[in-house]
Structure 1
């Protein structure tokens, strides 16, 4: 079968729409996941017994189940319990939020625990409270150490959005499938889809490397 580039160019507008949706879902989900992960990770590292237990249960539950099961539960099972309909995009974003949140919680915990105890002791000696030490000394250092891992998590979330084809979200993979249903040019379309994912993830990887060089992590 010959590869005809004209089918790639004809498919490009719809594929770009799909990529826009992919980036929207991954960015929105990662933002929510960052907030949840920051709270859960801080609780795991510095919280009391109850908060540590709750955070641990959340992290292990999400990390121990496939993201496909999570989106199916949110989109199909949860509306039966509420009862309320959840639209596909909301379900997709919510899935990325809880999924990335669990992994970011572990990233946060590791970053906090990696900070030298001398910083905490010095800040306490200068009269800062435990809360002040956490937010003005520990967290800024931890956040800088988290940047590479957060970037990697964004790349993972971008690729995970392809699974939302099962609930009809018009992301990049879904758009590719719809185009193939019309022109039957699977080779050209899937090649274009793969290249678009590759270009986005490579660009993000290069940006992360530049960011790591510019930020001196203590």
Structure 2
């Protein structure tokens, strides 16, 4: 009875935690409408429209336009850096109120979103490696590979002509990865929006424009979900019109793309490799601390679930064993990325509430790790010879006492190496949650690279993971040796 009561109380606590998170998020959304504080999704890896500067501030054409329009129309907003695809899905599932991320206005997107008046007219161009003199036209791409960013006009244009010119495309999540693929020679060229490529070339990203004529591209617009937040859309349009009338719009655009007379924008500071790494370390260490925090919290809940379902798997009840087996099969069978997207975007979209991103990420990590912890506990208990239980029972010990006093102490020694391994796996799995916008170490690295276009930062990120995991492993090994000696 006590075991069953503990199980149901724990499950009730987890359910209460999830419901409270949803209710808190619903309250925040309601206040956003009443208090003029809107949740605005963006990419922040799409310079010069949105990126994070060296001080951690969100800057770029879109960010400054949003700030100026909000000031002009007297409303408040909060930026949610999610990545382009996650931002689109968050807007569709009403997790945010609006989206500004260099989003092209297309007929297909108009079916799902309401757009503002266009605030920027773009176009598609092709770029190649700086020293590549062989690729001069689309014909030169035949039999080669082309890099593009998912969800962009560049992707759509490349996809529309790939059969005609006989090339294949490789999609990436952000522009920095696209440029790196071209620089390393894996792709012969890339297609992207002209202002984005031009800004990257200005920042010495190692590419050059191979075509001077811009392919027709769609205009950029601010988006809200279909039929939602019409007052926000009206305020954006009114503010944009005022900015264009008073000249502030031209000032913001010329700051990043140059002036209409052809003069270049203000020069940006160029940092050396080591200086760049040094300047980037504070944000990377902040990301590392968040990684550790999400790992610890997720493992805490994972161990609770692992204990519950682990004991259910070795219980005498067929129903309990069946429930535990279903839990393990489901959450070991669903890829962690899919699980994260489903929890953060799918469930709120189906039931009409919003869920904070850290809660969704923690829940996904906990459910995934909990399934593996369940099997670790089950395997540890079943690894103890049955004669141990029989001997304990023959001495008159009740089943529960025999488990607590005889079986579990021996099983823990068997389980410790697997627990250590799960700690390392969960710490690394936090990086997968960057795909839904969670800012941890990997996402912090992406943000720095989006600003600097310096792929060296990935080496720093890798070393940080390696050092932390090595330290944790050595500490855990010492604990394991002491436990075995005890």
Greater percentage in strand: 2
CA RMSD across the alignment: 1.7
Greater percentage in helix: 1
Distance across 1 between alignment mates of 2:333 and 2:310: 17
Asked if 2 retains the 8 angstrom alpha-carbon contact of 1:141 and 1:217, the reply is no
Asked if 1 retains the 8 angstrom alpha-carbon contact of 2:381 and 2:408, the reply is yes
Corresponding position of 1:209 = 477
Of 346, 350, 353, 1:81 maps to 350
* CA shift for structure 1 position 217: 7.3
Of 140, 154, 160, 2:409 maps to 140
**Deviates further, 203-212 or 175-184:** 203-212
Q: For 1:73-99, what per-residue CA distance to the aligned partner results, in whole angstroms no more than 9, with x for missing partners?
A: 100011123332111111111011100
Corresponding position of 1:46 = 315
Q: For 1:105-159, what per-residue CA distance to the aligned partner results, in whole angstroms no more than 9, with x for missing partners?
A: 1111110001122321232233221122222322222223211111110100111
TM-score (norm 2): 0.43
Corresponding position of 2:380 = 111
**Deviates further, 80-89 or 151-160:** 80-89
| Greater C-alpha radius of gyration | 2
* CA shift for structure 1 position 4: 1.7
Of 426, 429, 432, 1:160 maps to 429
Question: Relative CO higher for 1 or 2, CA cutoff 8 Å, sep ≥ 6?
Answer: 1
Q: Secondary structure at the match of 2:314?
A: helix
In the alignment, structure 2 segments of 5+ residues that lack a partner are: 1-205, 207-271
Q: Secondary structure at the match of 1:216?
A: helix
* CA shift for structure 1 position 205: 1.7
Asked if 1 retains the 8 angstrom alpha-carbon contact of 2:413 and 2:480, the reply is no
Asked if 2 retains the 8 angstrom alpha-carbon contact of 1:145 and 1:217, the reply is no
Q: How does 1:117-128 map to 2 (within 5 A)?
A: 117-128=386-397
1:174 aligns with 2:443: yes
Asked if 2 retains the 8 angstrom alpha-carbon contact of 1:37 and 1:102, the reply is yes
